[in-house]
Amino acid sequence: MTAGVDGPAPAGVDGPAPAGEQPGIGWSDLAGARVGLWGLRTEGAANLRRLRALGVVPVAVDDHPSAPTFGGLPVLRGGDGLAALTRCDVVVKSPGISRHGEAAQALAHAGVVVAGGLGLWMAEADRDRVVCITGTKGKSTTAALAGHLLAGLGHRCLVAGNIGLPPWDPDAGDDWDFWIVEVSSYQATDVAVAPPVVAVTSLAPDHLDWHRGVEQYYADKLSLCSRPGARLTVADGTSETLRAHAALLGPTVRWVADGDPELDGAWVDGLGLPGRHYHRDALIARACLVGLGVPGTADDERMARATQGFVPLEHRFRPLGTVAGVRFVDDGLSTNVLPTLAALEALGDDPVALLVGGQDRGIDYTPLADAIARRAAPLMVATLPASGARIRAAVDAALEAAGASAGGPDHPVLDFSALPEATAAAFEWALPRAGVVLLSPAAPSFGQFRDYRERSAVFEAAMRRCAAAHGVRVEPGG
């Protein structure tokens, strides 16, 4: 283990956004208070269920409500909504509402406590039985792995947060031995106290609009590691960005890398996961359980037995099927450069037709473009709106810098306006090469699709049309 030292925030960053509630304020303290419910999507519904269990009738506010009422409550919006929240003692906000935004800042300046569901739960949880897992990418898989291993070792475990029900939702129950909580950068700013063990799976620029800049995003994302109660941070030791921000990782850091003699071994094979990034996620999951003091986690044989039956998460490098020798892989939850890089690495020297592009959040695509330019194996890049134009520009610049040129039969870079059209063209390119059609957009789905599930469904439907057009069946696996 390597000791980390708390240091000053990077230049231009005031430190992580302060959690809206104090460590002593939990859900039970809201009974009898005037409470505002701000944001009425999935987590908002869980928040309402918790408030009703406490006998609290909140004010419901959402600037873009899907209906005039929410759970039987009238929904306020705009100036009326903000005015109503200002009259509350506590406002419980959804994660998508930025703490750095003007409205949240105005409420704080008015003396209103702006809280988040996770922070309220953490204040009252038995944190010695909780692990929080965060990271730009890899956190969902790592949380799922940690929960599966705990179950395989005979423990009742709730895998919660972004990956499942919020742990404070009455529907989740409380009869658990352990809680594995996936924490987004949004939620991290709501947490005033941390469990002893926190994991960080990766770090790269993301959600820059919410956090108002890359260094503020890093500070917010890593704030869990140094909140009161944090003792050990398990971190990806291969990440140069994480190592550069080691001062934000709390009092003690356990760096994890492939080949770690205390964590690695044949036990991982039972998970059946491809690629070094998944392998590293498994090692991080094990390190979390070791740090938590779970019996059996230091025993390779028990760990090997615990791996049995693991099912990879949907839309994360998931084989959809094979059409006339062409494999289709759905990595539709890739909303950042990191998972797309990992997917290309996992496919090795296979010819790949990469479908990339989506909502443009202004992230830097240079690392992806550089990896594309370095790839010797045949690679087709099919760009999609709205970030496709920037991706194309970055790839063209990287190819020019590398002395290569786009447009050859083995390395075309083509622009498309819609995913079905791009998928069909990718299949035709991959067909004579027995290659892979990979949906790994490195961007969110919003703008063209309702969510990532719809995007992946459109991709799968396009695969089936490719099979029908060639008079063949979709074979399972890939």
Query: What pLDDT, in 10s, does the model give residues 50-59?
Result: 999 999 999 9
* pLDDT > 50? residue 314: yes
* pLDDT > 90? residue 306: yes
Residue 36, class by beta-carbon neighbours within 10 Å (0-12 exposed, 13-18 middle, 19+ buried)? buried
- CATH placement of domain 25-119: 3.40.50.720
> What residue ranges do the domains of the chain occupy?
25-119, 125-306, 318-469
Packing angle, helices 452-469 and 419-430, rounded to 10: 50
H helices within 318-376, ranges in order?
Answer: 337-346, 366-374
Query: What pLDDT, in 10s, does the model give residues 351-383?
Result: 999 999 999 988 899 999 999 999 999 999 999
Q: Which residues of 380-407 are buried (b: 16+ CB within 10 A; e: fewer)?
A: bbbbbbebbebbbebbbebbeeeeeebe
Average pLDDT, the chain: 92
Give me the pLDDT at residue 21, please.
Answer: 46
Q: Stretch 291-301: mean pLDDT, rounded? A: 95
Give the residue among 331, 335, 306 at the shortest CA–CA distance from 320. 331
Q: What is the 3-state secondary structure (H, E, C) of 36-59?
A: EEECCCHHHHHHHHHHHHCCCCCE
Give the residue among 115, 119, 118, 117 at the shortest CA–CA distance from 107. 115
Q: Stretch 94-110: mean pLDDT, rounded? A: 93
Give the residue among 364, 466, 374, 368 at the shortest CA–CA distance from 411. 374
**Looking at the DSSP assignment, which residues form a beta bridge with residue 323?**
326
Superfamily of domain covering 125-306: Mur-like, catalytic domain (3.40.1190.10)
Query: What pLDDT, in 10s, does the model give residues 137-192?
Result: 899 999 999 999 999 999 999 999 878 899 999 999 999 999 999 999 999 999 99
409 against 435, higher pLDDT: 435
Give me the pLDDT at residue 18, please.
Answer: 62
Give me the pLDDT at residue 337, please.
Answer: 92
Give me the pLDDT at residue 206, please.
Answer: 83
Query: What pLDDT, in 10s, does the model give residues 432-478?
Result: 999 999 999 999 998 889 888 999 999 999 999 999 999 999 998 76
* pLDDT > 80? residue 279: yes
* pLDDT > 60? residue 83: yes
Give me the pLDDT at residue 13, please.
Answer: 56
Packing angle, helices 139-152 and 276-292, rounded to 10: 50
74 against 313, higher pLDDT: 74
Give me the pLDDT at residue 199, please.
Answer: 98
* pLDDT > 60? residue 12: no
* DSSP 8-class letter at 437: E
How confident is residue 261, by pLDDT bands cut at 50, 70 and 90? Answer: very high
Is the Cβ–Cβ distance between 199 and 132 less than 8 Å?
yes
CA gap 33, 334 in Å, rounded? 41
* pLDDT > 50? residue 108: yes
Give me the pLDDT at residue 2, please.
Answer: 33
CA gap 209, 362 in Å, rounded? 8
Is the Cβ–Cβ distance between 239 and 202 less than 8 Å?
yes
How confident is residue 407, by pLDDT bands cut at 50, 70 and 90? Answer: low
* pLDDT > 70? residue 10: no
Please give the single-letter amino acid code of residue 76: L
- CATH placement of domain 318-469: 3.90.190.20
* pLDDT > 90? residue 4: no
How confident is residue 230, by pLDDT bands cut at 50, 70 and 90? Answer: very high
Q: Is 25-119's fold the same as 125-306's?
A: no
Instruction: Measure CA of the first residue to CA of the last residue in the chain; give whole Å.
Output: 39
Query: What pLDDT, in 10s, does the model give residues 31-72?
Result: 999 999 999 988 999 999 999 999 999 999 999 898 999 999
